[in-house]
Structures are given as structure tokens and as C-alpha cells.
Amino acid sequence: MTIKSNASPVLFDTVTKAYGDVVAVDAISLSVAPGELVTLLGPSGCGKTTTLRLIAGLEMATSGHIFIGDTDVTKLPATARDVSMVFQSYALFPHMSVSENVGYGLKVSGIKKAETRDRSQDALDLVGLTDLGQRMPSELSGGQQQRVAVARALVLEPQVLLFDEPLSNLDAKLRRRVREEVREIQQNLGLTTVYVTHDQEEALAVSDRIVVMRNANIAQEGTPRELYERPADTFVADFIGDANIVDAQIIAVDGDDAQVSIGNLTMAMPHRNAGPGPVQLAIRPEAIHPIVIDADNTGNGDGGSLSGTVSKATYLGSHFEYTIETALGALFAIDPRIDAPVLEGQAIGIELASRGVTIIGDRS
Amino acid sequence: MKKTLIGLGVLALSTAMSLPAQAADKLTLYCSPQIEWCNLMVEAFEKETGIDVAMTRKSSGETFAQIKAESRNPKGDVWWGGTGDPHLQAAEEGLTEEYTSPTFGTLHPWAQGQAKSAGMMTVGIYAGALGIGYNSELLASKGLNPPKCWSDLAKPEYKGEVQIANPNSSGTSYTTLATLVQIMGEEKAFDFMKKMHLNINQYTKSGSAPIKATARGETTIGITFMHDMVTQVVNGFPVEIVAPCEGTGYEIGSMSIIKNARNMESAKKFYDFALRADIQTRAREAKAYQVPSNSGATPPDESPDLDKLTLIEYDFVKYGSSAERKRLLKRWDDEVGALPR
Amino acid sequence: MNRFIVLWFAVGLIGFAIIPWYTTDDSFWSFVWLTDGYPFDADYAPALLQIFVHGKIWLAPLILFFLAVVPVLRRDASGQQQARYLAIAGIGGLAYLFLQGFTIGIGGWEYAALESLFGPVERQFGLGYGAVLVAGAFLFLLTQSFAARGYVGGDLFVAGSIGLIITLIVAFVFFPVSRILMSAFQDNDGAFTLLLFAEKISDNKIWGLRCISENVSCGVAWNSLMLATTVGFGSTLLGLAFALVTTRARLRFGKAFRVLTVLPIITPPFVIGLAMILLFGRAGVVSQFMDWAFDIEPSRWIYGFTGIWLAQMLAFTPIAFLVLIGVVEGVSPSMEEAAQTLRADSWTTFTTVSFPLMRPGLANAFLLGFIESMADFGNPFVLGGNYGVLSTDIFFAIVGAQNDQGRAAVLAIVLLVFTLTAFYVQRRWVGKKSYVTVTGKGDSGLHAALPKRLTWAIFAIVIPWTAMMLVIYCMVMFGGFVETWGRDHSFTWRHYAEAFSITSGEFGLVWTGSAWNSFWTTITISAIAAPLTAAVGLLTAYLLVRQKFAGRLLFEFGTMLSFAIPGTVIGVSYILAFNIPPIEITGTGIILIICFMFRNMPVGLRAGVAAMSQLDKNLDEASLTLGANSFTTVRKVILPLLRPAIAAALVFSFVRAITSVSAVIFLVSADYHMATAYIIGRVENGDYGLAIAYSSVLILVMLAAVSLVQLLVSERKLGRRSATTKPAGDDPPGQKKIGAVA
């Protein structure tokens, strides 16, 4: 494999981008370590694409500084920055063949013809399109076009590689496959990568670290696991995976744990620096176990129980999805025990797994 | 990047450069009659004097506008030909140079009179009388009588058959307007024009357009200068020329030296040259049928004989002045042009 | 160290210290000055020697502005320093250069007050090679300063281009046009008066509405508006019909049809009008036939609105066609296919998808038709009858018996207001929607066939129209070979011989024909002007569509200005502005080239804007992030995708340069005589045979040029657009066909 990595860190120092009165990115500070894949995740309009384009130099920061490696690139045009970008629309040049597309960056950088050809071929080999160099982009399938776009970006061995929702035009199966390929190439080459998506599953799957954005600000950043298990607020809790947000009460704090009362159920969980008083909990759907109530089973006995009624049950092959009406509101649950389904309208008890229930609020 | 900007620079450079041209023994001539006549004059003058002539042909209105626009840094030396009105205007605005040629004494009285009235800032080189032209074939097929006088043109039988230029845009038509005023008196002239208005199918923009339309049968009767009609006759069109019974006005095609001309010596040489009898006699070679201003020159055979026409005493001073022109044109606009048909 | 700064600093110094500062009397390519007294001769000396040897001390302050650049020549000058010092040098240098040019002219001080203040000074001539180099250096140093501030993405090429085009537009559009428009507010003595302006602009001849109730002419303003609107709509529709026929109807003779369609724009003015008179005039062939066959009395219906409308439709439909054909081709087939898969029939697909996607093209085509009609002079002149329009009135206000430049300016202002309103309405209608259809995703779809109903309707319009065009062109060609067109139809070579004869003389061939001189000048000037015009137009389109910068709207407005103003006004304004220093270029070929560039550039601009708004911006961005600078991006990515627009711009600027009349009349000189001026002289003299012979030759020349351009640059390759191969793919069909209208 002849494609090397020139991975460099990226640093955002209180960067703001405003279009007139509209602030698209509001004083964001952010760093990406060399070889790290950071995902910018958030709903549309949250500023994640603008942030990416600020790194690329396609937008100029209104204030603040951006560094790639040791260089302050804040005022450098896109051309002068050593970054490559894979666009949502792929942006393949329709009038050039696949290998011309891939070799374009090398050619305009003044690399010799023979070397351009060899390196383009390497890049095509890397993405598994060895024999398609002479095709026109219109003769390729969506997945193939996507891979051409990746090859075109990789071949320049950029300091930073940028992806702008690269998989959104692919179908679900292909999306999974391509994202694994992308992740594999990124890890093998050790590329510094910034990846924009609004798909949390994609973000969890490919990222070393995720930056969740909301309204031009960073809502929370951390590893996928940190974000999933310890969301800073309801927005993050809801955005990363599904979560049932419920009100609860901390009764007492004891060491690392807090005693939390949820309805008439009490359980212990990490206090995350919250003191006694009302809190919000994020309960993951898979942490909710519905239990059919019969005569000799009236709850788990730890400290009371929750009960409710199943209003909707959906069979999804590998698991059931339930909507359960409870005193805490409607809860969404996932249950892999497909052999013992609960019927709609049935009254049930609810058991909460200790993993998957967390106090919201990043005070730890 | 650098190459690009050099490219842009070269573009800027090559577009902003300039190259005005003039040197000793040169003459820049603005010529307003037909191109053949202009070429003839240029060739003859170059042959005789060896002076290099750069000639541009533009109509008299265009030339006047150009001389006016160029007045702060004149590029032309002599303006030769074209109807006298704009020459007089140029003289009035001080755009032309005062000069009396040694040959001045040999000119017809009408030419001398016009030059003196303009303070010798322009001089007549030919004359052309106004007339009425009709398409004999079309007239016959419509069963109409040929018009004989100006007043005939107001007769209802010619409804929609007469064409004349708009005096606002054409010097020819303004000359006609002034002529009618001088023949009939202002009030009667306007009464006549109001009546004739009902017969006019179109006020053309250009002065000679009516006779061209007449020649091609687009209109039956056209009012223009007679020498324009002669051109159509010579071209083989069925055009008959009528000298109006009440008498008619005329233009004096003129020549002026442009003020602060760069080649003043050459300009004066050309001026003298153009007034000479032998040179004016050669006009026929270029199918120019005007009457030359030098009394020693022989007019072309096809030319209307000015002696046989009843020419009015055209008051060039009064009707050539801007104020009178503006007044008459405004009155024409208000009382004639605005009438329904 | 910034090599760019050093480069332009050096260029500026060379211009200041080595190259002659003033215009010389010799021609542009003449290097007489090298051997004729340079560098000490007062005419040829560079600025440095002008200051120290010839006492032109007012040039000395320019040295200060050069000094301001010195601090940033250092290797380690920061962006901020660059921005500051270069701004001082650039703004100061340019401002001072022009200030001294305007205050000290051919007669010394231009303003008496300054003379009494400083005493008399020596006269100076127009800016020459040296001054232009210095101006260029200051300009690009200034744009570098903007780029260093991060303006327009810190892009040197973009900043430089914007600077250059703004400078050119200010110098060659705003400056001359303001000179003449000013006269609208001046009385005969040059004093400013608003009262007179108010009186002139409220003239009943402009705004009169009595035509509604009585049989008199309406005001010229209403006439023009009516004409331009109907011609705009008509030519857009007809142009669309022709564009659809050539691209979608899958005709076997599509190529030939395409050439035939653009025929009228390669026709010199007056010719169509004259041919129409000979066909439909009172004595015309058709009228006479109708009289003979059906006893319909020949009338003068062709003179007036109907005639002008027909002639303008003939003349301007090709423009709409050229704008629309790129757009029609550019509509993404996938979107049409998407619509069809959504159960839209071909009619619904056309009306709901294809047609709306052509909206920017339609709007541009309408705008061009409208403006062309407004500014057209030749057709209303020949066919106008009593239907006066603004353009003819403007012409005769300047050259007519009244000779009222003020009135011409007032009418020009009215015309401008109409044009700008149309421009505004067009923008509103196109709105902020995106019409991107060429995206970075390969498009393998096929254009939808036209709905049957529409096809028949289009053929019903196109076929008779084409027939009429053929007849008119046969008439024209025929007119060059007969003794007297419309009278004596005996065959002759006389006209061709007079214009284009070549005799073999003592020293080889002698070009004895009277037309050769103007013919070669015309071809040369037009051939130089066309690529420059297309380049400036497309560059401007790129800046307008792709770059965001302050004052963009004003910029766009400036580019439309010289196009919207009638040629007569431009011609006179060019004389007023460029006959005296600092820019003294009257009587040269350069003034013609510049005039053509800025008059015709908007066509390339419109075609470019329409085509470029269909290109996905991600394509440029991809190129930029791949390390190509914006110039390379334009060259390698945008231009190849804009080939139809380039072809249109090239063809059109070449052809317009050859066929334009009204501006040219004032700008031709003895050394630079243009074909149209020659033709008009002949038409004025009633010498139609020669005029037509010449026109026919020009038509053939332009036809050859158009075919060549069409052949070389018009087709762009986007995907296969054929039904033979199936897409190889690993994704389900339909998935990739969702186009991105982002």
C-alpha cells in the first residue's frame, strides 16, 4: 500500500462564522488528534457542515483561529490547505473518467504523469475499483461513485480528510458496508478524519470521538460510549440512540452512587455529581424489561416496582418493540425475548436493568 | 496563479492602450455625401497634392454630433458636404473655423450669401432644390392626377398616399417646413400642413426615405430634394419629378473647416481645391446630381436646372438659427404631429 | 515573501521608469519610439524622466506610493502588514494617477481655479503604455491587499478578477455613460437644471396615452415597452420551441436545423427589414400575389408595430435559442425520470419538472429579448412607420435636425429605467431557488421524450416560421445578383464585382473591391473582440454565481448597463469620454474592441449565469479541496462543463461585433472602417444591391465561423445519454436517480 498518512491535528480556537446576523458556528473550540476520526453529529442546521467547510477553507471564519498541524490556516484559501473532502453529492467531475477524477488533485499539484497514474491506480485498488478507471462516473453505481470520491480524496495523502455525509445517498445495506470500508481505510492509514453525519448509528459505528452539535454550539463531545452512557443533557441523550426521558428524585447520595426514586421504584446508580433533589433520567429502551404479572410475581422486591400497560407491540424479527403506558408517561422498550411476547392491552410490571439507566447532566 | 494574473494584466494592458494617428501632410476628412463622391474627391486631391487623406463617411447629422462631441480635442480637419443646416449650426456654436478662399469670388451669389451670413465659417459647395416626386405607375393605377403645386398635396384624393420625413429628425423635412412658411406665411403654412397631415401615410425618420419608398411603390408621392429623385430615376424606377408651382426652397450643401484642426494647412488646401470649378464639374462622375456652387462649373445633365425653377429667397440666417428652428418644430409637434389621422 | 507582490511591484516600476508614459502618435504595434529619441524625447520619455527632465513634477507623488510597497517586500511580512501597506499603495496610487490625469489635460489645468492657485502647467497627453502598467500594478497590489484580509476566501485570482472587472466597468461603462446621462440635467449652456429635466422627462411625446382613444401615436415610452415585452415573450417561447425541437424531438437533421436557427443573428442589420418590405410591403411580392389571387388590396400593414415585431422576432429568437439550448440540455434526465416514476405522464413531467427547471434560462432569454428589442435601432428604423420607439427617437435626437443631446439623454434614462425594471422582475421571478441539475453524481438517465401534444404544437410554430425564414434568406441572396432589387431583376455580378473584385496587378493580387478594406478590418476587430468578450462575460458570470462579495448586485447592474443603453448613446458617450486624456483612444481600433467587449459581454454573461447555476457548487469545491486553485478550477472543471455557454458567448460576440451599427457609426474612423457603416452608407444611398451583396458575404463568413465554433466547443459530454448500456451497479435501481436539488 503506497498511500501514506500525513496525519496532523486540527485545532479550533473559539471560531465563529456568521452570515450577516445569522450565526452558523458560535465560538467553537475543538481539537482533533492526529489519526483520530471525529464525527460531527447533529440535526440539520446545527452548524456541523459549516464547521467542516471551515476546516476545508470553503468558508472563512468570521473570528477565531483554525490550525492544521502547526499552521494557522484561518485566512488560507481551500487550495492552500492540505485537506481533502468527500462530498455528499460525491462531486465527481462528470466530464472526466474515473482515473482522471482520482488523478485530478495530483495533476494540478504538478505531479508527473507516470506517478499520477500509479498513485491513482493504488487509490483505486485500495477502494476496490481496480478495473474501472476508464469508466465515466455516470457509468458507475452509487456505491462505486462513492468509492471513487473516497479514492480521489485519499490519493493526495492529506493532513486531514473530511467527509460530508458521505453515505446519505446509499441504501441501508450498502451504507453499512461502505462505512466499514471507510473506517478500515482510515484506521489502516491512520488518517486524521472529520466526519459529518446526522445519523447517530453511523456516528457510533465509525468514530473515535463524537462531537454532538446543536444550534451552532457543541452540545457534548466524547467517545461513543461516553455519549451513550453518560449524556450531558436530554438533547444528547435523545439524539444518541433512543432514550426515554423521565423525571426522578435523588433521595440520597452515598459514595459513588445515588439512590434514585423513579415512580415507586428505587434504584442505585452513579450520581454524576448530582445532589439530592429532582433529576432527569435517560432510560435506554433495551434497559426496560416488561414482565408479565401473575400471582406469584409481584416485582423484583428491591424497592418497589413500576407497572403499566402495553399499548403497542411490534414484531421486528430479532426483537419486539413495545410502547408501554406508565405513570411516568409512555415508555419505549425493546425486548429480545421473542418467544414470550406481551400482548397489546396487557398489564405488566417493569424491571429496569442497572446498565442503561443514567442520570442526565454532565457534571462528572 | 501567477500566470493567470499576468494574463489578466496583459489583457488590461492591451485594452487600455491607445494610438491616435496624425502626422505632417495629412488630412482627416469628414465626408457626408454618397461614398462615391467622397472617394472621387479624396483620390483627386491626393493625386494633385500628395497629401494623405484619411476619410470617414458619415451622414451630416452624425458628423455634426461627432464634431460637437470631439470639440475639446478635434480629430477632423475638414467637413465636406452634407446639407447646410448642421454646418450653419456648427458655425453658430463656434465649432468651425473662419476662412475665405481665394476662389470665393467665383461662387454663385446664393453660395456667397450663405457663407457671409455664417460669418465665413462655412461655404456652399452645391445646391439642391426641394421637389415633389411621384411613382407614375402607381399614380396611374390609382387613377390619380399628378400633383403640380404644394397646395395640391392637401387634396383629399391623395389620402394615405403622401410621404415626407419628420422635421424633428430630418433636415430635409425641416427645410420643407421652412420653405412652406416662407412661401405661404406661417399661419397659412400650418393650416396647409394640418390638412396635408391627413394624406401622410408616414413621417419617415430619414430625409431621403420618402423618395425611395416612392420608387419602390410603397407610397405614391414623396417629398425630398430633387437630386435624390434623379438618383432613383437613373436607377430605373418610374419616378417623375415635379417642381412645385408656388416655387420651392433649397439646401446648400456646405463645407467647413473644423476649429483647431490639426492639419490646418492641408485643410485650407482642400477647401480651395473643393471650390474650384473643374473639381466641382467632376461630381457627375460620382452620380451626384446637385448643382455646383462655382459659377464656372458645369452641372450634370440630369440635374434639375435651378434657373428654370422658381427658387424662393431662402432666409438661411433666420431659419438656420437654433431658436427659430426650435420654435417652428415645437409648433409643428403641437399642431401637426399630434393630430389624429 | 510573496512573489505576486514582487512581480507586480516590478511591473509597476518598469512602467514608471522604463516604458514611455504617454500615448504616442504612432500605432499601437509601432515601435518607432525605440529608435526615435527614446528615452529623453518629451513624447516618449518614461514617467521618471518626465519628472526630472521635462518638469512634469506632478507625477512625482506616484513614487511615494511605490515606496509604500517596500515594507511588505520582505520575506516575513505578515498578512496584516500586507493588507495595510498594499491598500495604501493601491488606493492611493490609482486615485492619484487618475486625479492628475483629469486635472491636467491637453490644455494644461482643466479647472481655472487650480491654475490661479498653482500657476500654469504644461499640457499632457493620454495615458500610455507605462501609465497602464503602473495602473495595473497598483490595481493588483490593491486586490492582493483584499485577498490578504481574507476577502473572497483569500483567493488571489478571484480578488484580482473582481478588481480588474470592476475597474474595466467603471472605466468603460460607468464613466462614459455618466458623461452623457449628465447632459439630461444640463441646459444648452451646460448649467445644471432640474426643472428642464422635469420638463423634458414629462414630455407628452414620451408618455402620451391618447392612442387609446384616438388615432394618434402613443408616447414612445409606451410603444417601446409594449414592443419589448411582446418581443421578449415571443422570442423566448419561440426560442424554447426551437431548443426543444433540436434537442428532444430526435430529428435526423438536427444539426442543420440548429445552424438555420441561428441564421438571423448573423444577418447584418437592415437586411431582414428590407427583405420584409420586398415581401410584405405594399409593393411586395406577397402583397402583390394576394392582390392578384384574392383581390386583397395591398396595404402598409408591415410599417408599424406588426412589422417591427416580426422583424425583431426573427432577429432575437436565435438569442433566446442559444441561451435556452444549454439549459434544455442541462436539465437532468434523472429528474424527469424521477417524475415519470412518480406516475407523471410526459405532459405533467414537462410542465412540472422540465419546464420549471428551465426557469433561469427562460428568465435570461426573456431579459435578453426585452433589452435587445428596447435597444434595437435598425428594425424600427426601416419598418417603424409612425410607430416611434425610444431607440430611434434617441438616435434622431442626437443626429436629427434638433440635435438635442439632452433629450437623447432623457430618453436614454427612460429606456434604462425600463430595462432595469425588467432586470429586477427577472431576478424576482427566478428567485432564490436552486436550479442545480448537473451534480457531481454521475447521471445515467435519458431525456424524456416530449409530450405528443406539445410536439405537434411546436412543429406547428416552427415549420412555418422556418419556411418564412428560408424565403427571406432566398430573397436576400437573390437581391445581390440582380440589377435593381425589387425593380430590375436581370442577373448581374456587378455588385459583387464592385465590392469584392481582385485584379492581378504588377505586384501580384490587388484587392480592388471597395469593400475589402472594411471587410478585413471588421473580421480582424471582431475576431479579436470575440474571445475577449466571451472571456470577460464568463469570468463575470463565474464571479456572480460562485463568489460572494460585497456590492455584487451593483456589480451585476454595471455589467448590464452598457448592454441596455442604445448604441447611439454609447457611441456618443465614448467620444465624449475617450477623445481627451487621460484615456484618449478615439480613432483607434482599440475603442471599437472595447466598445464591443462591454456592449456584448452581457450575452456571454447571461449564458454563463444560466449554465453555471445548473452546475453543482460542490464540483468547484471538490476541485479546490483537491489543491487546484480557483483559476485551475475554472479552467479544468467549470469551463469544460460550460461548453455550450462558451460557444454561445463566442458566436454571439463575434457576430454582434460584425453586425452592430448604432454605436459603431460614431466610432469608425478612416483607418478603422467597419462593414456595417459601409453597408448603411449604401442603404442610405439606395444602393441595395451592393449592400446586400456585402451582407451576403458577411453572412457566409459568419456562418462558417459559427459552424466552426459549434463543431469545436459546443457539445459537452456528461455521461452517456444513450440507451445502449446498462449501468453496472451494486445498488438497487432507482436509488441513484434521485437528483440533488439542494
Alpha-carbon distance of C59 to C69, in angstroms, equals 18
Over range C399-426, report the average pLDDT: 83
Average pLDDT for chain B: 86
Q: Which of A78, A83, A139 sits opposite C442 (nearest CB)?
A: A139
Say which DSSP state B51 is in.
Answer: P
What is the crossing angle of helices C220-248 and C405-430, to 10°?
A: 40
Q: Which three cell numbers stand for residue A292?
A: 408479565
Cα–Cα distance for residue pair C703/C179, rounded to 1 Å: 38
Most confident stretch, B303-307, C36-40, C101-105: C101-105
Tell if the CB–CB gap between A104 and C729 is shorter than 8 Å.
no
At residue C123, the pLDDT reads: 75
Beta carbons of A359 and A258 less than 8 angstroms apart = yes
Q: Which of A249, A278, A252 is nearest to A265 (CA)?
A: A249
DSSP E strands, A271-327: 277-283, 288-292, 306-315, 320-326
Nearest alpha-carbon partner for C338 in C742, C738, C741: C738
In the predicted structure, residue B288 carries a pLDDT above the cut 50: yes
Note whether A92 contacts C623, CB cutoff 8 Å: no
Cα–Cα distances (Å) from B264 to A81, B29, B80, C657, in that order, read 66, 12, 15, 35
The closest alpha carbon to A153, from C616, C620, C625, C442, belongs to C625
Mean pLDDT of all residues in C409-419: 87
The set of chains that have 3 or more CB pairs under 8 A with A is C
State mean pLDDT over C439-468: 75
Interchain contact, B168 vs C157, CB within 8 Å: no
> Are the beta carbons of C234 and C305 closer than 8 angstroms?
no
Least confident of A259-273, B129-143, C113-127, C514-528: C113-127
What is the C-alpha to C-alpha distance for residues C212 and A38, in angstroms, rounded to an integer? 72
**pLDDT for C250:** 66
Question: What count of residues does chain B have?
Answer: 341
Contact list, C716 vs chain A (CB under 8 Å): 95
The closest alpha carbon to C383, from C309, C273, C265, belongs to C273
Q: Please give the pLDDT value at position B327.
A: 92
What was the pLDDT predicted at C440?
A: 58
* Half-sphere exposure at residue B139, Cβ-oriented, CA atoms within 13 angstroms: 19
Is the predicted pLDDT of residue C267 greater than 60, yes or no? yes
Model confidence over B202-228: pLDDT tens digits? 888 788 889 988 998 889 999 999 988
pLDDT at C715: 56
Cβ contact, residue pair C153, A94, below 8 Å:
no
Q: Tell me, what's the pLDDT at C102? A: 84
- Cross-chain Cβ contact C441/A145 below 8 Å: yes
| pLDDT in 10s for each residue of chain A, 364 residues | 467 777 889 999 999 999 888 899 999 999 999 999 999 999 888 889 999 999 998 888 889 999 998 888 888 888 888 888 898 888 888 888 999 999 998 888 888 999 999 999 999 998 888 899 899 888 888 888 988 998 999 888 888 999 998 888 788 888 888 888 889 888 888 889 999 998 888 899 899 999 999 999 999 999 998 888 888 888 888 888 888 888 888 888 888 888 888 888 888 888 888 888 888 888 989 888 888 776 455 544 444 578 888 989 888 888 889 999 988 888 899 988 888 788 888 888 888 888 888 888 754 4
Q: Which one of A75, A90, A152 has the shortest CB-CB distance to C441? A: A90
Please report the pLDDT score of residue A51 as a whole number: 93
Alpha carbon distance A25, B74 (integer Å): 62
CA distance A196 to chain C (A): 15
Per-residue pLDDT, averaged over C23-42, amounts to 68
Confidence of residue C714 (pLDDT cuts 50, 70, 90): low
How crowded is residue A363: how many other Cβ atoms within 10 Å of its Cβ? 10
Please name the residue of chain C whose CA is at the shortest distance from the CA of residue A97.
C719
Write the pLDDT tens digit of every residue in C84-96: 888 889 999 999 9
E strands of B235-292, at which residues?
239-242, 250-258, 291-292
Quick one: pLDDT at residue B151? Answer: 92
**pLDDT at C53 exceeding the cut of 90:** no
For the entire predicted model, the pTM comes to 0.80
Kindly report, residue by residue over B234-246, the tens digit of the pLDDT: 888 999 999 999 9
Q: Which of A222-231, C190-199, C211-220, C645-654 holds the top average pLDDT?
A: A222-231
SS3 assignment, position A268: strand
Residues 6+ away with beta carbon under 8 Å from B193: B177, B180, B332, B335, B336
pLDDT: is C156 or B254 the higher one? B254
Other C-beta atoms closer than 10 Å to the C-beta of A331 total 20
Cβ <8 Å between C624 and A152: no
Give kind and range of the element (H or E) at residue A357: strand A357-359
Contacts of C403 in chain B (CB under 8 A): 61, 64-65, 68, 86, 89
The H or E element containing residue C649 is helix C643-659
pLDDT confidence of residue C443: 57
How close does chain C come to B53, measured CA to CA in Å? 9
Q: What is the ipTM of this complex?
A: 0.83
Contact C14, C25 (CB under 8 A): no
Q: Give the separation between CA C55 and CA C531, rounded to whole angstroms.
A: 42
Reduce the DSSP state of residue B204 to 3 states and report it: strand
Whether the pLDDT of residue C740 is over 50: the answer is no
Residue whose C-alpha is closest to residue B209's, from A269, C385, C158: C385
Say how far apart CA A7 and CA A191 lie, in whole Å.
Answer: 5
CA dihedral sign of residues C642, C647, C648, C653: positive
pLDDT at C27 over 70: no
* C244 has a chain B CB within 8 A of its CB: no
C48: pLDDT strictly greater than 60: yes
Highest mean pLDDT among A34-43, C563-572, C714-723: A34-43
Contact C575 B59 (CB under 8 A): no
Q: Which of C635, C614, C43 is nearest to C356 (CA)?
A: C614
Cα–Cα distance, A240 to A225 (Å, whole number): 10
Higher pLDDT, C247 or A240: A240
What residues are paired with B31 via a beta bridge?
Answer: B57, B80
In the prediction, which pLDDT does B195 show?
A: 92
- Residue C45 to residue C54: CA distance in whole angstroms: 9
Contact (CB<8Å) A89/C616: yes
Comparing C-alpha atoms, which of A4, A297, C684 is closest to residue B63?
Answer: C684
Report the relative pairing of strands A160-164 and A192-197 from DSSP bridges: parallel
B236 touches chain C (CB under 8 A): yes
| Nearest beta carbon to residue C632 from set A108, A141, A156 | A108
Residue B134 pLDDT level (bands cut at 50, 70, 90): very high
pLDDT of C593: 92
Check CB contact under 8 Å for C4 and B66. no
For chain B, positions 100-129, list CB contacts with chain C under 8 A.
none
pLDDT value, residue A2: 63
Which own/partner pairs from C702-710 qualify as long-range (CB within 8 Å, at least 24 positions apart)? C702/C266, C702/C654, C702/C655, C702/C658, C703/C259, C703/C263, C703/C266, C705/C651, C705/C654, C705/C655, C706/C259, C706/C262, C706/C266, C706/C651, C706/C655, C707/C259, C709/C647, C709/C650, C709/C651, C709/C654, C710/C258, C710/C259, C710/C647, C710/C651
Amino acid at A70: D
C346 vs C179 pLDDT, higher one: C179
Distance between CA atoms of C54 and C41, rounded to whole angstroms? 9
Tell me the backbone φ, ψ of residue B233, rounded to 5 degrees.
Answer: -60, -45
Q: Which residue has the higher pLDDT, C195 or B140?
A: B140
DSSP code for C737: G
- Judge whether B284 and B234 are in contact, CB under 8 Å: no
Residue C112 pLDDT class (50, 70, 90 cuts): confident
